[in-house]
Structure 1
């Protein structure tokens, strides 16, 4: 298990770093303040004439013009999902997600094995050790 954990991390570590950075950037872009004045924000919040929110739905007012970093949200999403690099990029993105699941499970497995090994050698089986 340790060998697989080590070898997969060499290859997929770069892709997972890419996915992590672009995912953070896409969220920062969405949460970034728009800097629009209050009057413009209120005007943009008005629904178009004749629009009714369907029953049972919570309708959000439109955000108005997405300027600055918010306009890059779509680009960050395409980079994050690998769509910008075609089918190979999407495949690598999916494989990176699967390896992230593998790293989570195998890392926990390795930790439990080390903890049991310390316990069997009559060492202090603390949760964290040096």
Structure 2
């Protein structure tokens, strides 16, 4: 039986969340810091992990790189759009509230708090009575 490599980098195979890296390649996908050198729990990534400092830097860059005054289109959309970084995402079940209800939520991209208001629209269809 042929022996297979345990590292997708060494092996040259497609990375995924279950793929493993060898000791040499067990580094942050963004900055290259080795896992043995990090002090905080890293975030999982399709190609390994991302360290907390890189994650914080990415979130700060998302917040700083978006000018909401130039993109004021956060009202009455079919998806939730963060007014701080512009990230759009599909609402989860817990985001559906009563019409006009507002709740606070944190953006999954930049962690900024935002107020989310639920809006419902009613539409009508008609046809002649007795016609199917």
TM bucket normalised to smaller: under 0.3
Task: Give me the TM-score of the superposition, normalised by structure 2.
Answer: 0.24
Task: Give me the TM-score of the superposition, normalised by structure 1.
Answer: 0.24
**Structure number having the greater helix percentage:** 1
Q: Which has the higher contact order (CA 8 A, sep 6+)?
A: 1
**Structure number having the greater strand percentage:** 2
